[in-house]
């Protein structure tokens, strides 16, 4: 889901309108059921016109601009995604942009991944390059049509108010690559060149935006391989007796459902400490190893966070395979081969809350 979408030229024109940020706010209210915070509206008012001016300078009037693009199966939104064709490869190309109004930032306690900004001396923030790189990796891991296209997604953290390099010098100590580049107002020309290097100015970006928005959502083959390797390496996931029986039974039913083109539900029961979650994690690894698109979900925040730490200790990317029940409200039929619901007794009759839009209030 994207709150606002326009061509580069249309985006430039609309940002000249003083009501532009309020129009995005109206879209958020319509799509999500709640209003943005005043600080978020101010951010749109101050940052989006700057980006529009840079797109105009770069000659990228035909690229497609996606504002506040929602990352599937999460609550996160990327500030802006630019969609178009890569000028050299001719393949789809996307630039994820994280816009920051920071004019000054320093490392926090010598931790390169955390930074302090003016006005918040005791509240460290994630380094913007780490933030945008995470968004890029997530899109590459879950937008199915991007599977096998490692160079399709690039990222830029743009601190457009930072005009003195000395004021953000610490931020350059953090490693950069194509999925996470740092640009400042002082290096605006480099930012414009980066955009030109990733997006063809002569090709309309609309078809490529359509591909991204309509893509099936499932973990990529690479992410599945990483998850399979991570689970296989952990000795606490070794199965015993009835655990192994349940594990083999589920694998058998998955293959039967796949070959018979039908659906199957298996319920694994057992008291506390009987190893149900160990079975679930082992299934996640084995199904990933077989190339089946699989995700794990629970209804408990604390439980999910614990599983993410355990299963993704060495490979943080694996943590993205652990979701919540209510994140599948807009899932498309047959996007996944298998969904493992751990602690299924926590499934409620409805996951509706006050933020759920009317179309999803099915009861």
Nearest to 5 by CA among 87, 85, 78, 57: 78
Higher-confidence residue of 9 and 246: namely 9
Nearest to 60 by CA among 189, 199, 190, 188: 199
Residue 157, beta-bridge partner list: 98, 182
- pTM value is 0.78
Residue 55 has pLDDT above 90, yes or no: yes
Q: What is the mean pLDDT of residues 125-145?
A: 90
- CB 198 within 8 Å of CB 190: no
Q: What band does 315 get if pLDDT is binned at 50, 70 and 90?
A: confident
Nearest to 318 by CA among 130, 137, 145, 156: 137
Higher-confidence residue of 285 and 176: namely 176
pLDDT (tens digit, 9 = 90+) per residue, 62-112?
A: 999 999 998 888 878 899 999 999 999 999 999 999 999 999 999 888 778
Residue 33 has pLDDT above 70, yes or no: yes
Residue 60 has pLDDT above 90, yes or no: yes
pLDDT (tens digit, 9 = 90+) per residue, 343-352?
A: 887 777 777 7
Higher-confidence residue of 218 and 133: namely 133
Backbone angles phi, psi at 74, to 5 degrees: -140, 175
- Alpha helices by DSSP H, 97-219: 128-142, 188-198, 206-214
Higher-confidence residue of 109 and 143: namely 143
pLDDT at 120: 78
Residues 6+ apart with CB under 8 A from 21: 41, 42, 44, 45, 48
Residue 302 has pLDDT above 90, yes or no: no
Residues for the chain: how many in total?
Answer: 363
Q: What is the mean pLDDT of residues 179-201?
A: 96
Sign of CA dihedral 241, 243, 248, 250: positive
Residue 239 has pLDDT above 80, yes or no: no
| Residue-averaged pLDDT of the chain | 86
pLDDT at 101: 94
CA 235 from chain centre, in angstroms, equals: 30
Residue 6, beta-bridge partner list: 65
Q: What band does 188 get if pLDDT is binned at 50, 70 and 90?
A: very high
- % pLDDT > 70, the chain: 94
Element (H, E) at 114: strand 111-117
- Alpha helices by DSSP H, the chain: 8-14, 20-32, 38-58, 128-142, 188-198, 206-214, 221-232, 241-259, 276-289, 301-311
Round to whole Å and give the CA distance between 116 and 114.
7
- CB 275 within 8 Å of CB 240: yes
Q: What band does 47 get if pLDDT is binned at 50, 70 and 90?
A: very high
Number of other CB atoms surrounding residue 257 within 10 Å: 16
pLDDT at 363: 63
Round to whole Å and give the CA distance between 352 and 145.
30
């Amino acid at each position: 889901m994207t709150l606002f979408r326009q061509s580069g030229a249309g985006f430039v024109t609309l940002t000249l309108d003083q009501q532009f940020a309020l129009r995005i706010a109206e879209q958020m209210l319509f799509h999500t059921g709640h209003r943005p915070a005043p600080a978020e509206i101010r951010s749109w008012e101050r940052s989006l016109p700057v980006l529009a001016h840079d797109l105009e300078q770069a000659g990228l009037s035909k690229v497609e601009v996606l504002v506040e693009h929602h990352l599937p199966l999460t609550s996160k939104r990327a500030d802006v995604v630019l969609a178009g064709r890569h000028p050299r490869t001719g393949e789809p190309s996307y630039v994820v942009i994280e816009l920051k109004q920071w004019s000054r930032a320093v490392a926090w306690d010598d931790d390169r991944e955390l930074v302090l900004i003016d006005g918040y001396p005791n509240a460290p923030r994630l380094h913007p390059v780490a933030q945008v790189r995470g968004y890029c990796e997530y899109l590459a891991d879950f937008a199915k049509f991007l599977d096998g296209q490692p160079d399709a997604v690039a990222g830029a953290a743009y601190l457009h108010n930072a005009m003195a390099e000395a004021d953000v010098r610490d931020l350059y100590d953090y490693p950069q690559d194509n999925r996470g580049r740092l640009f400042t107002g002082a290096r605006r020309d480099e930012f414009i060149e980066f955009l030109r290097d990733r997006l063809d100015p002569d090709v309309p970006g609309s078809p490529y935006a359509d591909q991204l928005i309509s893509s099936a959502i499932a973990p990529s083959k690479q992410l599945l391989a990483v998850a399979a390797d991570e689970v296989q390496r952990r000795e606490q996931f070794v199965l015993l007796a009835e655990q192994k029986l349940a594990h083999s039974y589920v694998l058998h039913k998955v293959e039967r459902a796949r070959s018979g083109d039908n659906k199957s539900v298996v319920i694994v029961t057992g008291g506390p400490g009987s190893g149900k979650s160990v079975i679930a994690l082992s299934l996640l690894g084995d199904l990933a190893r077989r190339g089946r698109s699989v995700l794990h979900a629970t209804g408990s925040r604390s439980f999910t966070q614990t599983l993410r730490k355990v299963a993704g200790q060495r490979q943080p990317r694996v943590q993205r395979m652990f979701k919540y029940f209510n994140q599948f409200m807009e899932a498309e039929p047959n996007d996944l081969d298998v969904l493992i619901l751990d602690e299924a007794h926590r499934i409620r009759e409805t996951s509706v809350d006050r933020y759920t839009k009317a179309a999803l209030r099915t009861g």
